[in-house]
């Protein structure tokens, strides 16, 4: 039976040694949603993502991804980590990295012709086809992020999770990235962690605020109270949403 | 150097030929596994594993002499204790909430200490330095058989699981998400490292063997950016270091292990200096 929700969290709590990070939170993300997870540093964004991926286990409560446990749905998840934790001197080509997304189907981990075709297709989708045989470390920050997206895509995921895809990239790469994501959203649910609220409001359908508790807002209600919720203080919001009128709105 | 080639063919100098063959065959495993060790940045773990092989050498001498288990040779002890140390360091670095380097340093020293104590308890005199720094006079045709067997195991495993090992080394978290048991492959890699290290204990000894595991890939890494090519080049460099080292040490009457290591070290320094100079010339 297929659930209409890609993500269902029920009464989830999680703590590290230093204390409670997520306090009895519940969350539902619909299929084909494009949601962004925002909140202050240390508020539990990355923890939430790792719970969704099944890399962490909740102390209490349940996590359901695509109607099953995160471990069982694992192969249907696409995940783009931050590239900063990767070793930049590691001898791999762009193709090598993309192909890693095709692992998991067989015991020896051999890649078939089909795997190579899928990896090439994914690289083409993120506009990196001409870099296929380049060394991973030679790419710019934005290109590295896109290789990691291609790696996530070539497993044909139903849910795509991205960890701060807009950090360390310039404005132009960021725009390119979001136009790719917008396209992908037609066929998969997208959840991304971001610290950049102003930008997300243009493409994102809903905002999940994490700061020990979770609050969900449709993007239409973006206003001062939301910002206060997230950052816990009155801040001035800079409006740079005038582009919306040209491209149409993506609000629910 | 010409005498060296004559010596290799001399039937009275079988040990020299054996050492040469062992060096060439062992280089295959050293190049392949060394590349994993260098790119995954676990040479410190590999150091601990190789040093704790001494514990097994001591234990084997004890079992052999005191308990009369004559089929147990020092090399068998080295294999068992290196594998044991590989599993323990692997588990510690994955799961223990301890400072990893502290525990690894401890395994390193405790392994050696255990070996020395076993040797103290064993009556008779043993040339400890032949295990620590290598001694080619002790190499027999039995060693060649063992090197070829271990080579086969190491090569088959690391080549057949190449993609999975590569994914685990590059990004273990992501490999886990693709259904690869990253911890299991990490420990497998450490076990392969343990087996590899043991291969050249006879020639370069357990103290210096770590350099022969890391220097050939370090040199190879300066010429290529693909993991597969890096392995092939490392195998080549390792063979060259072993071959030339043996030749030079024979011609000049020096200890083989140190000569091999010095040649490897000097080559590495030479290569990085040349690269630097080239870059400077280009930019000026």
If residue A209 lies in a helix (H) or strand (E), which one and from where to where? strand A206-211
In the block, which residue shows the tokens 């020299």? Answer: B16
What's the pLDDT at A252? 41
More confident residue, A196 or B100: B100
CA B124 vs. chain centroid, Å, equals 29
More confident residue, B6 or B38: B38
Separation of alpha carbons B68 and B66, rounded Å? 6
CB count within 10 Å of CB A231 equals 16
Q: How many CA atoms lie within 13 A of A163 on its CB side?
A: 20
Residue pair B108/B79 in contact (Cβ under 8 Å)? The answer is no
CB count within 10 Å of CB B65 equals 17
Query: Residue B12: which pLDDT band, with cuts at 50, 70 and 90?
Result: confident
CB count within 10 Å of CB A88 equals 12
Domains of chain B: 2-283 (1.10.3470.10)
Q: Do B39 and A74 touch (CB under 8 A)?
A: no
The A residues from 213 to 252 touching B (CB cutoff 8 Å) are none
Residue B224 at interface with chain A, using a CB cutoff of 8 Å:
yes
What's the pLDDT at B192? 95
B218-245: per-residue pLDDT in tens? Answer: 999 999 888 999 999 999 999 999 999 9
What's the pLDDT at B242? 93
Chain A CB contacts of B231 below 8 Å = none
What's the pLDDT at A250? 45
For range B71-98, the mean pLDDT: 89
What's the pLDDT at A220? 57
Residues in chain B: 284
For range B96-117, the mean pLDDT: 88
Separation of alpha carbons B255 and B262, rounded Å? 11
Which member of A90, A91, A111 has the closest CB to residue B163?
Answer: A111
Q: Do A100 and B225 touch (CB under 8 A)?
A: no
B181-210: per-residue pLDDT in tens? Answer: 999 999 999 999 999 998 888 888 888 899
Q: Is the pLDDT of residue A245 over 50?
A: no
Residues 6+ apart with CB under 8 A from A122: A98, A101, A150, A151, A153, A154
Output the CA–CA distances (angstroms, integers) from residue B55 to A19, B4, B76, in the order listed: 42, 35, 11
What's the pLDDT at A242? 39
Taking one residue from A and the other from B, the number of pairs with CB-CB distance under 8 angstroms is 79
pLDDT averaged over every residue in chain B: 90
What's the pLDDT at B110? 94
For range B90-113, the mean pLDDT: 87
Residue pair A95/A119 in contact (Cβ under 8 Å)? The answer is yes
A8-31: per-residue pLDDT in tens? Answer: 888 888 888 778 888 888 888 888
Q: Is the pLDDT of residue B251 over 60?
A: yes
Q: Report H helices in chain B.
A: 2-9, 14-39, 43-65, 74-95, 100-121, 128-133, 141-160, 162-170, 172-177, 182-199, 201-220, 227-252, 256-283
DSSP letters of B213-263? HHHHHHHHTTT-S-HHHHHHHHHHHHHHHHHHHHHHHHHHT--HHHHHHHH
Q: Is the pLDDT of residue B261 over 90?
A: yes
Q: Do B179 and A74 touch (CB under 8 A)?
A: yes
Q: C-alpha angle A69/A57/A68, rounded to 5°? A: 5
Residues 6+ apart with CB under 8 A from B145: none
For range A63-86, the mean pLDDT: 88
Chain B CB contacts of A92 below 8 Å = 166, 170, 226-227
């Amino acid at each position: 039976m297929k659930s209409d929700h890609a993500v269902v969290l029920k009464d989830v709590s999680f703590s590290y040694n230093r204390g409670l990070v997520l306090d009895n939170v519940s969350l539902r993300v619909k299929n084909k949603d494009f949601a962004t997870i925002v909140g202050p540093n240390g508020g539990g964004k990355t923890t939430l993502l790792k719970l969704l991926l099944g890399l962490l286990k909740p102390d209490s409560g349940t996590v359901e991804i695509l109607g099953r446990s995160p471990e069982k749905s694992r192969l249907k998840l696409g995940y783009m980590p931050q590239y900063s934790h990767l070793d930049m001197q590691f001898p791999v080509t762009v193709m090598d990295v993309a192909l890693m997304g095709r692992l998991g189907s067989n015991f020896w981990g051999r890649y078939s012709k089909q795997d190579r075709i899928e990896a090439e297709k994914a690289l083409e989708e993120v506009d990196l086809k001409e870099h296929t045989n380049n060394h991973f470390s030679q790419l710019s920050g934005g290109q590295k992020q896109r290789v990691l997206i291609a790696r996530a895509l070539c497993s044909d995921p139903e849910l795509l999770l991205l960890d701060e895809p807009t950090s360390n990239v310039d404005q132009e790469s960021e725009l390119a990235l979001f136009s790719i994501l917008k396209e992908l959203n037609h066929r998969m649910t997208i959840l991304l962690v971001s610290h950049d609220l102003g930008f997300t409001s243009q493409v994102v359908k809903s905002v999940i605020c994490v700061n020990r508790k979770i609050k969900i807002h449709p993007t239409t209600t973006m206003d001062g109270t939301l910002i206060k919720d997230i950052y816990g203080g009155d801040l001035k919001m800079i409006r740079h949403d005038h582009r919306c009128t040209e491209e149409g709105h993506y609000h629910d | 150097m010409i005498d060296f080639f004559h010596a290799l063919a001399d039937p009275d100098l079988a040990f020299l030929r054996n050492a040469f063959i062992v060096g060439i065959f062992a280089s295959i495993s050293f190049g392949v596994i060394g590349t994993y060790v260098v790119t995954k940045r676990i040479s410190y773990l590999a150091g601990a594993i190789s040093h704790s092989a001494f514990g097994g050498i001591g234990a084997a001498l004890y079992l052999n002499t005191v308990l009369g288990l004559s089929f147990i040779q020092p090399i068998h002890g080295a294999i068992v204790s290196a594998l044991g140390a590989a599993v323990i360091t692997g588990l510690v670095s994955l799961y223990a909430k301890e400072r990893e380097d502290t525990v690894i340093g401890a395994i390193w020293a405790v392994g050696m200490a255990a070996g020395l104590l076993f040797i103290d308890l064993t009556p008779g005199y043993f040339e400890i330095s032949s295990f620590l720094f290598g001694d080619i006079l002790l190499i027999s045709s039995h060693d060649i058989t063992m090197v070829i067997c271990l080579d086969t195991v190491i090569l088959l495993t690391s080549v057949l699981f190449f993609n999975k090992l590569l994914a685990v080394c590059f990004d273990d978290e992501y490999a886990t998400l693709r259904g690869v048991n990253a911890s299991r492959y990490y420990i497998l890699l450490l076990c392969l490292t343990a087996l590899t290290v043991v291969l050249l204990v006879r020639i370069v000894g357990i103290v210096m063997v770590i350099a022969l595991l890391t220097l050939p890939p370090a040199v190879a890494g300066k010429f290529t950016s693909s993991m597969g090519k890096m392995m092939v080049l490392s195998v080549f460099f390792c063979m060259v270091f072993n071959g030339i080292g043996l030749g030079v040490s024979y011609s000049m009457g020096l200890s083989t292990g140190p000569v091999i290591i010095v040649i490897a070290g000097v080559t590495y320094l030479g290569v990085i200096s040349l690269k630097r100079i080239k870059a400077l010339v280009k930019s000026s």
